[in-house]
């Protein structure tokens, strides 16, 4: 696409045909019209579509929606997700066959490594590997509740909620009979199927309602109110809803605590606390972290597990890496730290540090390996700089947002670390989201 200056004024409501599209970050395709970039949802790169402009406030680009698919892609399928087909924002790629969706994600990660990370064109092919079937993979779901008390799925970038049709992501049975109950309008539900097959349902309200006689109202430590952070949760909408200053968590079904397992290890964690959404993710990511450690730092004695949650990677590293004396897990969330301390009690190879990562690094023993798994906002220049200054043999950087992952990798590159391996995982099938894991070593 040529980078022409915009020629004509475009206003919301204008319609035009467009093709020559390419996959871009955030579940959109981008093309050009009259020298202006046009971002379109629900279209594919090899399609010709009629679009209508929805937002033309910026002079150099606009957003548009599909009115008609004029030349459909052979990769377009009937949407796998009924909620997305009804307008929900959950599964923004459920109309694409999953093999092609993975190719698109792979291209987007490669493109961001060039555009944002500053790497050379085509320097990295990032394979995006399947973790299983495109539907029925999510063991943990967060839903909205509409004004009538009915649970459903949020419309993209909106408070509107689609009810009466289920999203296709959850594992079988997770959402069964959910609508038999009426919830507080405007509340959010967190539903978890735990490792022992128990289902837990917690309702989160923004302020303290009177306690109903048939419900237990408490937070994860049994206190009545909570003021928790959802910084580790996936998704902008989740995070924006999570900034509410106070909330009350009410257990509707099951328990306030869920059991999670990886291998022989068990964690008891509040239902509302962070755990990877895809049922295969903790095991597969952990195996990748371990294999990168074995390949690039086999003699490591000390590892850091930053943004470590409950220490899933720490556990796999001490189990699998011969000669590793200790792993220092740094995590800010109290619930995760409490669960990690209980799980690793008596195991002096794993030490849990409750602190923001930026505050903790100067206090830790020098690392041979640093595992970094930040929330969507990424680690940022300050944290990456401190990691590089500690001169580990290996950094394993994990990202659930392709743009901040590319930005952070670009910072490592500037500071003397180069990626030697990058793996992608299709940990959020039917959506544009992708998990990427990079092994980085010092440039000698």
Task: Detail the residues annotated as belonging to a binding site for S-adenosyl-L-methionine.
Answer: 276, 307, 331, 373
* Minimal distance, residue 289 CB to ligand SAM, in Å: 9
Choose, by CB under 6 A, the member of 47, 373, 401, 435 that binds ligand SAM: 373
The yes or no reply on residue 235 touching ligand SAM (CB under 6 A) is no
Nearer to ligand SAM, 119 or 274 (CB): 274
Of 296 and 307, which has the nearer Cβ to ligand SAM? 307
Q: Which of 69, 70, 13, 4 is closest to 32 using CA atoms?
A: 4
**Contact predicate 141/175, CB 8 Å:** yes
Spatial distance between the Cα atoms of 443 and 434, rounded to a whole number of angstroms: 27
How far apart CA 25 and CA 152 sit, in angstroms, is 26
Q: Label the pairing between strands 394-399 and 369-372.
A: parallel
Q: Which positions from 101 through 130 interact with ligand SAM, judged by CB under 6 A?
A: none
Question: Which residue positions form the known binding site?
Answer: 276, 307, 331, 373
Least Å distance, CB 267 to ligand SAM, is: 9
- For residue 332, the minimal CB distance to ligand SAM (Å) is 3
400 noted as active-site residue: yes
Q: Is 203 helix (H, G, I), strand (E, B) or coil?
A: strand
DSSP annotation of 305 reads: E
Side-chain half-sphere CA neighbours of 228 within 13 A: 26
Q: What is the dihedral of CA 67, 70, 72, 76, to 10 degrees?
A: 10
Catalytic residue among 62, 91, 167, 400: 400
CA angle, 259 then 188 then 156, to 5°: 110
Is 27 a binding residue for ligand SAM by CB under 6 A? The answer is: no
Closest contact distance (angstroms) between CB of 301 and ligand SAM is: 21
Token reading at 405:
């992952």
Listed residue (89, 30, 116, 195) closest to 399, CA to CA: 116
Question: 163 pairs with which residues across the strands?
Answer: 152
Is position 276 an interface residue for ligand SAM (rule: CB under 6 A)? yes
In the complex, the smallest distance separating the C-beta of residue 207 from ligand SAM, rounded to whole angstroms, is 24
Least distance (Å) between residue 357 CB and ligand SAM: 4
Across the beta sheet with 36-41, the strand order is 15-18, 48-55, 61-71, 36-41, 28-33, 22-24
Choose the binding region for ligand SAM from 48-56, 65-73, 329-337, 432-440 (rule: CB under 6 A). Answer: 329-337
We find the least distance from the C-beta atom of residue 109 to ligand SAM, in angstroms, to be 17
Query: Which tokens sit at 114?
Result: 């060039």
Q: Which is nearer to ligand SAM, 52 or 280 (CB)?
A: 280
Does 328 sit near ligand SAM (CB under 6 A)? no
Task: Specify the length of the chain in residues.
Answer: 444
DSSP state of 415: T
Which of 189, 196, 13, 168 shows the shortest CA–CA distance to 91? 168
Residue from 331, 401, 408, 423 that binds ligand SAM (CB under 6 A)?
A: 331
**Cβ closest to ligand SAM, residue 189 vs residue 400:** 400
65 DSSP β-pair partners: 52
**Does residue 419 belong to the site contacting ligand SAM (CB under 6 A)?**
no
Site for ligand SAM contains 423 (CB under 6 A): no
Q: 126, 100, 339: which is closest to 221 by C-alpha?
A: 339
From the list 14-22, 137-145, 220-228, 305-313, the region that binds ligand SAM by CB under 6 A is 305-313
Site membership for ligand SAM, residue 336 (CB under 6 A): yes
Site pattern 179..218 for ligand SAM (x: CB under 6 A): ----------------------------------------
Residue 356 interacting with ligand SAM (CB under 6 A): yes
Binding site for ligand SAM (CB under 6 A): 231-232, 274, 276, 307-309, 312-313, 330-333, 336, 356-357, 373, 375, 400
| Residues acting as catalytic residues | 400
């Amino acid at each position: 696409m040529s980078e022409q200056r915009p020629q004509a004024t475009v206003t919301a409501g204008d319609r035009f045909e467009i093709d020559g599209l390419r996959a871009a970050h955030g579940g959109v395709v981008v093309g050009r019209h009259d020298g202006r970039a046009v971002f379109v949802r629900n279209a594919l790169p090899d399609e010709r579509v009629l679009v209508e402009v929805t937002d033309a406030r910026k002079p150099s680009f606009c957003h548009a929606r599909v009115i008609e698919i004029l030349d459909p892609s052979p990769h377009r399928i009937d949407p796998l997700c009924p909620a997305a087909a009804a307008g929900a924002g959950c599964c923004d790629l459920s109309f694409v066959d999953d093999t092609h969706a993975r190719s698109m994600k792979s291209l987007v990660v490669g493109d961001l490594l060039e555009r944002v990370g500053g790497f050379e064109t085509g320097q990295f092919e990032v394979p995006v590997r399947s973790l299983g079937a495109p539907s029925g993979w999510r063991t943990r779901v967060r839903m909205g509740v509409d004004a009538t008390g009915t649970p459903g799925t949020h419309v993209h970038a909106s408070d509107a909620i689609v009810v009466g049709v289920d999203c296709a992501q959850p594992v079988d049975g997770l959402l069964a009979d959910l609508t038999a109950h009426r919830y507080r309008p405007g509340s959010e539900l967190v539903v978890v199927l735990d490792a022992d097959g128990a289902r837990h349902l917690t309702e989160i309200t923004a302020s303290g309602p009177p306690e109903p006689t048939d419900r237990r109202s408490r937070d994860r430590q049994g206190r009545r109110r909570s003021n928790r952070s959802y910084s580790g949760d996936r998704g902008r909408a989740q995070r924006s809803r999570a900034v509410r200053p106070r909330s009350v968590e009410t257990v509707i079904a099951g328990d306030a605590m869920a059991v999670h397992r990886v291998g022989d290890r068990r964690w008891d964690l509040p239902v509302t606390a962070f755990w990877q959404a895809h049922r295969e993710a903790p095991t597969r990511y952990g195996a990748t972290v371990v294999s990168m450690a074995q390949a690039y730092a086999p003699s490591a004695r000390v590892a850091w597990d930053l943004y470590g949650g409950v220490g899933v990677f720490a556990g796999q590293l001490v189990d699998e890496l011969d000669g590793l004396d200790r792993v220092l897990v740094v995590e800010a969330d109290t619930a995760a730290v409490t669960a990690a301390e209980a799980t690793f009690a008596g195991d002096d190879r794993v030490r849990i540090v409750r602190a923001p990562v930026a505050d903790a690094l100067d206090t830790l023993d020098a690392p041979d390996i640093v595992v970094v798994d930040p929330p969507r906002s990424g680690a940022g220049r300050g944290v990456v700089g401190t990691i590089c200054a500690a001169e580990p043999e290996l950094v394993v950087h994990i990202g659930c947002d392709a743009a901040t992952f590319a930005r952070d990798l670009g910072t490592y590159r500037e500071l003397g670390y180069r990626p030697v391996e990058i793996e992608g995982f299709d940990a959020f099938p039917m959506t544009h989201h992708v998990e990427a894991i990079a092994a980085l070593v010092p440039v000698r």
